[in-house]
Amino acid sequence: MRHCPECRFDYERDMPRCPDCGAELRFGPVPAREEMVVSPDTELVRLCRVADPSEADILRAALAEAEISATVRRHGPITGELGRVTDGMTEDYASVYVTRNRLDEARQVLEAVRSAEVEWPEGMEPDDSTDGAS
């Protein structure tokens, strides 16, 4: 079994890199917390959980713009790169993690993203006249 040294998740499949953060996977189980040196600039904490994994990718991009490193962990029956392809077809969700020392800044970015007004490209505006019923 391999694990990601950054995300601290196990992966059963034989793959060279973490599908979430891109770090090179290491052989063996995730080391116990006691075996790792944990500090505010290395400890990952969950910033938020989102129902749509695509929202997590948008949030990770916004955090990168603020020079805050983030890790997205997709949960559900299909994860990793395949999860990006099947997004919206399964009951997936995602969690976004940042280091503890950047958590307050990341919360500000999260609030800014969630409160931002969406600017739709011309011709792509959603039709507000439908109520979703078929």
| Position with higher pLDDT, 61 vs 54 | 61
Residue 97 · residue 45 · CB < 8 Å: yes
Domain span holding position 6: 1-36
Confidence check: pLDDT of 81 > 60? no
Looking at the domain assignment, is residue 65 inside a domain? yes
Question: How many C-alpha atoms does 61 have within 13 Å on its Cβ side?
Answer: 7
CA distance to 33, 35, 84, per residue, from 25 (Å) = 18, 18, 20
The most confident of the ranges 3-7, 11-15, 54-58, 87-91 is 54-58
For the chain, the domain total comes to: 2
Percent of the chain past pLDDT 90, that is, above it, reads 22
Looking at the domain assignment, is residue 89 inside a domain? yes
88 CB-near residues (< 8 Å, 6+ apart): 52, 54
Confidence check: pLDDT of 97 > 80? yes
Single out the residue of 115, 123, 110, 133 nearest to residue 45, CA to CA.
Answer: 110
Confidence of residue 52 (pLDDT cuts 50, 70, 90): confident
Least confident of 7-11, 33-37, 100-104: 33-37
Looking at the domain assignment, is residue 127 inside a domain? no
Confidence check: pLDDT of 134 > 50? no
